Structure 1
Amino acid sequence: MATDHHPREPSRYEKEAEMDPSGEMKSQTASDGSVHKGEDILAMQDLDPALNAKMHLVNNAIDEIGWTNYHWKLFMLNGFGYAVDSMITLIQSNIAAPAFKEFGSVGYANGQNIASYAGLLVGAIFWGFGADIIGRRWAFNLSLFICSAAAIVAGAAPSWASLGFFVALVGFGGGGNLVLDTTVFLEYLPGNKQWVLTLMACWWGLGQAVTGAICWGFLVGWRYVYFTAGALVLVLSLLRVTVVRLKETPKYQLTGGDDVGLVENLQSLAKKYNRPCSLTLEKLEACGKIQGTHSESRFSLAEFKIHVSGLFATKKIGLSTTLIWLSWTLIGLAYPLFYVFLSTYLKVRGVTGPTDPFYVWRNYTLANISGIFGPIVAGFLCNIKFLGRKYTMVIGALVTMAFFFGYTAVHTSDENTAFSCIIAFCVNIYYSCLYAYTPEVLPTAHRATGNGISVAFNRIMGIISAVIATVADTRTTVPIYITAALYAAMAVVAFCFPFEPYGRRSS
């Protein structure tokens, strides 16, 4: 949070950071030989000076250690979390029709869609806020386990209403898991490897492809789809505990005032992988005491206010937070809105898809696999100096907009398949970069809260799209033009983002 403070003399450890004639930090060489500037994203935002100084030392220590096998483990098992989020959303949409039919077609036909988004919404807020209170570790491990258990039970649901409850519970666990995947990974990443956060979204497309494979094999019995998916997620949740053995993230320890645990954590990591780490408790204590990151009671309204107000600590941080939330809202409406109207739109234009299940699921799988490569391209683009994160998102949004406009020329099933693959690829360039950019520019003490609220806005729009699907006229081309226009708006918002993380480290 922003605090009123008098000018102070820099600590001796801040003075040790040599400056070049331009006033920037001199380049430092990480253990892997790569060079980075060592500038923290929020260092000049007039935040708590003790927090700024300590954060700089922690970032230096993480850079000293560099990329290790531990980061590979996080990339894999946090990536599984991405895959799980896409799995639970798509599985619900694929089993809804056969489940509704089995239960006598009684009730609200789009109920499962709304239940899923409602669970994802509550989960994002609950686990996002909770991770800033109790820490990343417990939220990271518990959310995925809840998701797996609820998915298995959903397969045995005795009624349409009970299925909706467990679908919401699946979303509750999965929604929180998605918020923590990026947060936990980022808070262990060296500055010159933060671009990998964008690349990690390739797991999202992989999760969609796995969903297609599960549904292809078991859709004749929708309950088996949930049993299989739930068992898979259960295995992943156990791997998180047994393989990663996650300790609390060093940046959460910093904002929580646990300097002793922080130093032990990073020194232990450095020792395990034979890397240098010059951070000491004395260096941290010399920076002073951090203020304003928690209230006296962590389970209180005051704590909630601190984490929300911290996202608006300065005008620039407040603008950044607002634009991020706007971006999540726009894509939360645009992405599902298109698919809500697509089937009716194609029928009106006489575009009939294949009826053979083999070709139906082949086309579905092709589109999902295409989505895997969008984050790979985004990871490459966002690490180019003159593009960075902002302009990668601008490019992704504009290219997606162009192909949505082009969709109005689709007249055959093959053209529909081709455009579906291209759009899945292009939209993930934007989406993957937004997923990574959001935690990168949020303050560490309030990162999970800000990330959770961002995802929550996205889920609210998903609920609205499900309602629109029930009441709106889906026979015109207007929804496609609206969707394309929404992506144009996303490009404008991305262009206006006040922070560019390229070459800088999360604060």
Structure 2
Amino acid sequence: MSEDGNPKLEASQKEEKLGGAVPDVRAADGGSLNGEDILALQDLDPALNMKMHLVNNAIDEIGWTPYHMKLFFLNGFGYAVDSLILLLQSVIATPAFTEFGKHGYDKALNISVYVGMLTGALFWGVSADIIGRRYAFNISLLICSLSAIIAGGMPNWPSLGFFIACVGFGGGGNLILDTTVFLEYLPGNKQWALTLMAAWWGLGQAITGFIAWGFLVPEQWNCSSVDTCTRDNNMGWRYVMFTAGALVFVMSILRVTVIRLLETPKYLLCMGEDAKVVETLQFIAAKYNRPCSLTVDKLESCGVVTSAHSGKGGFSVGETLIHLRGLFTTRKISISTLMIWLSWTMVGLAYPLFYVFLPSYLAARGAVLDVSTFISWRDYALTNVSSIFGPVLAGWMCNLPILGRRYTMLIGALMTAAFFFAYTAVRTEAQQVGFSCAIGFCLNVYYGTLYAYTPEVLPSAHRATGNGVAVACNRIMGILSAVIATYSDTSTSAPIFICGALLVAMGIVAALFPFEPYGRRSS
């Protein structure tokens, strides 16, 4: 649609730019591929809009291939790693602090990982828009894995905190790159798979739970007293780091060997590399015996792309500002960008703060939750396994015309809020496990859809930057939650209800998002 909502005007503008009628590209089944792009003419760069429309037609014409399936799994590794490392520091914090953090700050690892993920989200987000998706995609996971392995061998609390921050830095760009790369290859009718891919997030959480369950329970690897705790009798948390780091290292190697990632066609298009765009898509089409009618002449007939970059290349303040300004090119895109960042900020505060305050709140009201270490880690693993299935449901819901992405997020947020409020009535361990599983499931209906929605509605030229800032907002709130927990009264009910209210607000904001991606293609 054009900004005034006139589809005929949009069509005539397209024809004018192409010097005639827009070619009616057909898929193998005879269906027209001239679908509507999410941002339509919002970008204010007519040449880029016309070219993006043709590239989307070509991607739809090629359709889903084994290449996309490989991306689903290998990009899913990044999703899993992000959640894995976010929980990793929390499960090793207590035994590591017992060993050598006697006079340190007990929330240091929590803050370290969030600081690392904050800087990583910004760095990898901006760099992916400037130097390309492919390099960041291949490097970030390797940094994460090596830092995790090294962290397991650290001799003191400050050095452990530093390498946990490095783990966060490497993993901080994964969510941004995984969604961006996968989306920029997806046919329009398969964009719901981006929401489904968030199931890997829950799998990463579950893997962390099982690793912790295996290494943090045996007495021979875990000391119980600060006075007698040494490296020799407290190797459990180190084994957790070594195992998780080795697993991530294998994933990073698979990314490079199983699929030799080609630079995404939409990034190349934004950089003015029309010939490389056609070469990439024609290569995929030829490899999997699919049609692709896109040619360099068709792209060049649309004009020259001028708004995506400065033309100088490389990192610079000016180049970064171009990508930030690109997120506010029109009033509608500006509102969308700010509402997305607000949503990430709210969920970044509500979720960790809830779990920070909850144990003290329940204990103050007579909840009996004293269980063995074995039972604690078993329950932790069960809760994380339940979160795998939230995005599976969300992937189905967001592809229903009556719901789309926005109302799927609304339902997920309201369901989570309901269980948040109900959780305050927990008095037994069985109730605690049940409500934790329910919250993990429902929250990932919202979270998984938000992860997918964010890159879907951002302009391609500035997608990774906008996504990086969104994730950074989330990480800032994670840091604040640790500080708030240190200096606040954790037995009062106010924070619990504030968190629930934030979830309701998140659902309302989602329902009011300006763009609905259902039935449309990312721009």
Q: Post-superposition shift, 1:44? A: 2.8
Between the aligned partners of 1:267 and 1:140, the Cα distance in structure 2 is 22
Between the aligned partners of 2:15 and 2:435, the Cα distance in structure 1 is 60
Partner of 1:281: 296
Per-residue CA distance 1:304-355 (angstroms, 9 max, x = gap): 1110000000000000000000000000000101011111112112223253
Q: How does 1:25-44 map to 2 (within 5 A)?
A: 30-31=27-28, 38-44=35-41
Partner of 2:331: 315
Quick one: which amino acid aligns to residue 59 of structure 2?
Answer: I
Are the structure 2 counterparts of residues 480 and 313 from structure 1 closer, same or farther at C-alpha, using a change threshold of 3 Å?
Answer: same
Partner of 2:4: none
Aligned residues: 492
Q: How does 1:105-120 map to 2 (within 5 A)?
A: 105-120=102-117
Name which of 454, 458, 462 aligns with 1:442: 458
Between the aligned partners of 1:104 and 1:436, the Cα distance in structure 2 is 39
Partner of 1:406: 422
Q: Secondary structure at the match of 2:469?
A: helix
Quick one: which amino acid aligns to residue 15 of structure 1?
Answer: A
Q: Secondary structure at the match of 1:11?
A: helix
Q: Post-superposition shift, 1:468? A: 0.7
Assess if the C-alpha contact under 8 Å between 1:396 and 1:427 holds in 2: yes
Between the aligned partners of 1:386 and 1:35, the Cα distance in structure 2 is 23
Between the aligned partners of 1:101 and 1:401, the Cα distance in structure 2 is 35
Are the structure 2 counterparts of residues 165 and 46 from structure 1 closer, same or farther at C-alpha, using a change threshold of 3 Å?
Answer: closer
Per-residue CA distance 1:370-427 (angstroms, 9 max, x = gap): 1001000100000001110001001111111111111122121111111000000000
Q: How does 1:79-90 map to 2 (within 5 A)?
A: 79-90=76-87
Q: Secondary structure at the match of 2:164?
A: helix
Larger displacement relative to structure 2 (225-234 or 215-224): 215-224
Assess if the C-alpha contact under 8 Å between 1:32 and 1:66 holds in 2: no
Aligned-pair Cα RMSD in Å: 1.5
Are the structure 2 counterparts of residues 358 and 34 from structure 1 closer, same or farther at C-alpha, using a change threshold of 3 Å?
Answer: farther
Are the structure 2 counterparts of residues 210 and 30 from structure 1 closer, same or farther at C-alpha, using a change threshold of 3 Å?
Answer: farther
Partner of 1:246: 261
Partner of 1:302: 318
Between the aligned partners of 1:36 and 1:79, the Cα distance in structure 2 is 28
Assess if the C-alpha contact under 8 Å between 1:143 and 1:173 holds in 2: yes
Partner of 1:15: 21
Larger displacement relative to structure 2 (359-368 or 91-100): 359-368
Name which of 132, 135, 143 aligns with 2:132: 135
Partner of 1:478: 494
Between the aligned partners of 2:295 and 2:101, the Cα distance in structure 1 is 66
Are the structure 2 counterparts of residues 352 and 30 from structure 1 closer, same or farther at C-alpha, using a change threshold of 3 Å?
Answer: farther
Q: Secondary structure at the match of 1:505?
A: coil
Assess if the C-alpha contact under 8 Å between 2:33 and 2:61 holds in 1: no
Q: Secondary structure at the match of 1:482?
A: helix
Q: Post-superposition shift, 1:79? A: 0.5
Name which of 85, 88, 94 aligns with 1:91: 88
Between the aligned partners of 2:19 and 2:137, the Cα distance in structure 1 is 34
Assess if the C-alpha contact under 8 Å between 2:33 and 2:57 holds in 1: no
Partner of 2:378: 362
Q: 2:141 matched to 1:125?
A: no
Assess if the C-alpha contact under 8 Å between 2:369 and 2:427 holds in 1: no
Between the aligned partners of 2:242 and 2:19, the Cα distance in structure 1 is 55
Q: Post-superposition shift, 1:105? A: 1.4
Between the aligned partners of 2:443 and 2:356, the Cα distance in structure 1 is 16
Q: Secondary structure at the match of 1:456?
A: helix
Quick one: which amino acid aligns to residue 174 of structure 2?
Answer: N
Larger displacement relative to structure 2 (84-93 or 211-220): 211-220
Between the aligned partners of 2:332 and 2:186, the Cα distance in structure 1 is 24
Between the aligned partners of 1:119 and 1:355, the Cα distance in structure 2 is 33
Mark the runs of 5 or more structure 2 residues left unpaired by the alignment.
1-12, 217-221, 223-235
Partner of 2:447: 431
Are the structure 2 counterparts of residues 16 and 292 from structure 1 closer, same or farther at C-alpha, using a change threshold of 3 Å?
Answer: closer
Assess if the C-alpha contact under 8 Å between 1:121 and 1:455 holds in 2: yes
Q: Secondary structure at the match of 1:394?
A: helix
Partner of 2:229: none
Partner of 2:219: none
Assess if the C-alpha contact under 8 Å between 1:333 and 1:465 holds in 2: yes
Please report the TM-score for the alignment, with normalisation by the length of structure 2: 0.92
Q: 2:388 matched to 1:372?
A: yes
Name which of 33, 48, 54 aligns with 1:51: 48
Q: 2:470 matched to 1:454?
A: yes
Between the aligned partners of 1:166 and 1:486, the Cα distance in structure 2 is 33
Between the aligned partners of 2:277 and 2:34, the Cα distance in structure 1 is 23
Partner of 1:182: 179
Please report the TM-score for the alignment, with normalisation by the length of structure 1: 0.95
**Superposed structure 1 runs of 4+ greater than 3 Å apart:** 11-14, 28-37
Assess if the C-alpha contact under 8 Å between 1:331 and 1:487 holds in 2: yes
Between the aligned partners of 2:257 and 2:20, the Cα distance in structure 1 is 39
Quick one: which amino acid aligns to residue 284 of structure 1?
Answer: L
Q: 2:465 matched to 1:465?
A: no
Between the aligned partners of 2:167 and 2:252, the Cα distance in structure 1 is 13
Q: Post-superposition shift, 1:197? A: 0.2
Name which of 303, 306, 309 aligns with 1:291: 306
Q: Post-superposition shift, 1:461? A: 0.1
Name which of 196, 200, 207 aligns with 2:197: 200
Between the aligned partners of 1:297 and 1:16, the Cα distance in structure 2 is 33
